[in-house]
Amino acid sequence: MSGILKISDAASLAMHAMGYIAANPERRVSTGEMAGNIRVSENHLSKVMQRLAKAGLVKSNRGPKGGFTLARSADEITMLEVFESIDGPLTDCACLLGTPVCNGGKCILGDLAEKINRDFRDYLSTTMISQITGSFGGKDNGAKKNH
């Protein structure tokens, strides 16, 4: 079991980028600046930003003073929206072991998979982008501290 919870690189980049943009609400943020601060590939981040723009979560402005801004208030965008804009609808994982031998019967891990899925969905759906800006030097607006 290499990892219980798997989040794609693209979804992780999207959540980090949204937090970074929200931490800098007074200006447009370039892909190069974000990539440098988040320490990721600018090319990969650029593709992720295109997907966020297509989903209507960010606005893109071209040119020398171009960059990205949030399309809506950071208080109105959930982490779940960002995650699902990249990875599609969050589905419940029936088996954490990858080899379901219980055939729908009693799992050897009990209700752990169900609890992890529920907790992850609850966290993403109740955490607003405005709550994660503290990780990027912005004002921390009540992000949950236990994660």
What is the domain extent for residue 28?
9-136
pLDDT tens-place string over residues 62-80: 888 889 999 999 999 999 9
Roughly how many angstroms between the first and final C-alpha of the chain, as a whole number? 21
* pLDDT at res. 1: 36
In order, the DSSP letters of 41-55 are: -HHHHHHHHHHHHHT
Are the CB atoms for 9 and 44 separated by under 8 Å? yes
Rounded Cα–Cα distance for residues 38 and 17 (Å): 8
Task: Evaluate whether residue 144 is within a structural domain.
Answer: no
> Sorting pLDDT into bands at 50, 70 and 90, what band is 144?
very low
> Sorting pLDDT into bands at 50, 70 and 90, what band is 93?
low
C-alpha distances in angstroms, 135 versus 13, 44, 109? 14, 21, 33
86: domain CATH number is 1.10.10.10
Task: Evaluate whether residue 102 is within a structural domain.
Answer: yes
Global pTM exceeds 0.75: yes
